[in-house]
Amino acid sequence: MKIIFTAPFWSPDINSISKAAIYLGTQGHDILVITAQAADSLKGKVTAPAHEIIEGTEFFRPYPNSKDLTWHPQKHWPRIQEKIEKFQPDVIVGFGDPFYRLPLKISHHLKTPLVMFFEYLRLDKFSLPIRGGGKIRKYLPNTYQILSNIFRRYLIGQCSAIMFSYYGDQYLIPDIERICPIVRYVPWCTETGEKLETTKRNRKTGIYVGSLEGFKNAAELVEAIPLILEQTATERFIVVGPGEYAPKIKALIERYGSQLEYIEALPRKDALHLLRSAGYGYTPVTDCGLGFIGDCWGTGTPLITTHKLDGFLLQDSDTLIADSVYDLPKTINSLIGSDALFERMHQGGVNRYLSNYTARAVGKQYLQVFKEVVATNKTERIR
């Protein structure tokens, strides 16, 4: 099968999700990834070559930065047009609702089926294709949902299939199927790549990796850190990520000194190394942050949360879920104090990762969707 993936910025050194596409390339499929050369992210300012082939998958990066791809896909259209007409894909796959313009343009030009991959289906999380959408969401939430519903119906109506990665949105599948016949939940690929047991752990080190924004419930993280450092056996807690709550984390360093470390941005490889050396990962998220959760499982780092994420997390199987932020110290101390509990959570996370979140596991689910789309498209042509 010949597949074009589009994304704002993809590089296997930076994005775990790109590795599922590469996996398909290793299985005999022709894969072309159209993306940008640079972006600002949790890993800092990230860059990649204009063109490279990785394990048989071609990465074509005509856009200097992800903003051009997002807002002005026509800027480099002549080069893209030449590339896609020569490639002649069976299916186009666009990642992210804010980045729909390029895959939609390619799909219309080639008259090829379009598959979009969204993180969420719910209206309050669906991005508007306008600048300032975040302010509308914050200050005019009802207006935002009305506009979001209009845009979601339009975009989904252009697609032959939809994939989404947030477990808690599966209840919306029947609604979306009224517009698009193929709607599938597919986990976010968090391929960690390296062997699990390569770094010595300090069981008394905790870590959080992710943006420090309101939508990630970072306010709880600020509240939790004093509880962790004062009421548990944790000797060191590491926070990695930029965002609006970063100044509050830095202020806590003045209080706790070397017990608390803050790093604004890290390459993915270094972040995974820190995870492998930590005794546990803690996240305050309520309905997002799937990358960090998958990375904890993939590195065998026991995961602790204060929210169930709509039933996504399995208590005492792959995650320890505290009743509240104030119950967090008890949960952390139980993990630090029990070798048996540590081993159970370590292995439970690894098992969940291997079953659902590796490049192989996710890539196979992509392929099932693509085959269904191509088969449906052929049937419709015959009719």
Alpha-carbon distance values, 184 to 9, 17, 44, 148 (Å): 24, 17, 32, 20
pLDDT in tens, 178-209: 999 999 999 999 999 866 555 789 999 999 99
The model's confidence at residue 3, banded by pLDDT at 50, 70 and 90, is very high
b/e 217-234 (16+ beta carbons within 10 angstroms → b): bbbbbbebbebbbeebeb
Backbone angles phi, psi at 325, to 5 degrees: -65, -30
Q: What is the pLDDT of residue 115?
A: 98
pTM over the 0.85 mark? yes
Q: What is the pLDDT of residue 87?
A: 98
The model's confidence at residue 312, banded by pLDDT at 50, 70 and 90, is very high
Listed as own residue / partner, the contacts of 214-221 with beta carbons closer than 8 Å and 24 or more positions apart are 214/244, 214/245, 215/288, 216/243, 216/284, 216/285, 216/288, 216/289, 217/284, 217/285, 217/286, 217/307, 218/243, 218/244, 218/245, 218/284, 219/245, 220/284, 220/306, 220/325, 221/245, 221/249, 221/284
Q: What is the pLDDT of residue 382?
A: 42
Q: What is the pLDDT of residue 378?
A: 63
Q: Which residues pair with 104 in a beta bridge?
A: none
Is the confidence at residue 319, as pLDDT, over 60? yes
Is the confidence at residue 45, as pLDDT, over 90? no
Q: What is the mean pLDDT of residues 311-321?
A: 93
The Cα 127–Cα 151 span in angstroms is: 9
The model's confidence at residue 63, banded by pLDDT at 50, 70 and 90, is very high
DSSP class of residue 315? B
Three-class secondary structure of residue 24 per DSSP: helix
CATH class of 202-356: alpha beta
Q: Taking the domains of the chain in order of start, what are their residue ranges? A: 2-191+358-382, 202-356
Q: Which of 210, 230, 234 is nearest to 284 (CA)?
A: 210
CATH of range 2-191+358-382; options 3.40.50.2000, 3.40.605.10, 3.40.50.2300, 3.30.70.270: 3.40.50.2000
Q: What is the mean pLDDT of residues 36-57?
A: 87
pLDDT in tens, 76-108: 999 999 999 999 999 999 999 999 999 999 999
> pLDDT averaged over the chain?
93
Q: Which of 161, 76, 83, 102 is nearest to 365 (CA)?
A: 161
Q: What is the pLDDT of residue 46?
A: 86
Query: How big is the chain by its Cα radius of gyration, in Å?
Result: 21
Is the confidence at residue 177, as pLDDT, over 80? yes
The model's confidence at residue 62, banded by pLDDT at 50, 70 and 90, is very high
- Which has more confidence, 255 or 196? 255
b/e 291-325 (16+ beta carbons within 10 angstroms → b): bbbbbbbbbbbbbbbbbebeebbeeeebbbbbeeb
pLDDT in tens, 123-167: 999 988 888 888 898 899 999 999 999 999 999 999 999 999 999
Q: What is the pLDDT of residue 93?
A: 98
Q: Which of 298, 301, 260 is nearest to 279 (CA)?
A: 301
> Among all chains, which residue has been given the structure tokens 């101390």?
333
Q: Give the H or E element holding residue 139.
A: helix 133-139
Backbone angles phi, psi at 183, to 5 degrees: -130, 120
Task: Give Cα 359 to chain centroid, integer Å.
Answer: 13
The Cα 222–Cα 278 span in angstroms is: 19
Q: What is the mean pLDDT of residues 215-219?
A: 95
Q: What is the pLDDT of residue 58?
A: 98
Assess whether the region 2-191+358-382 and the region 202-356 belong to the same CATH fold.
yes
- Which has more confidence, 82 or 15? 82
Q: What is the pLDDT of residue 289?
A: 80
Contact present, 37 and 48 (Cβ < 8 Å): yes
The model's confidence at residue 13, banded by pLDDT at 50, 70 and 90, is confident
Is the confidence at residue 260, as pLDDT, over 50? yes
Q: What percent of the chain has pLDDT over 70?
A: 96
Q: What is the pLDDT of residue 383?
A: 41
The Cα 334–Cα 232 span in angstroms is: 9
pLDDT in tens, 66-76: 999 999 999 99
Q: Is 182 exposed, middle or buried (0-12, 13-18, 19+ CB in 10 A)?
A: middle
Determine the residue type at 42. Answer: L
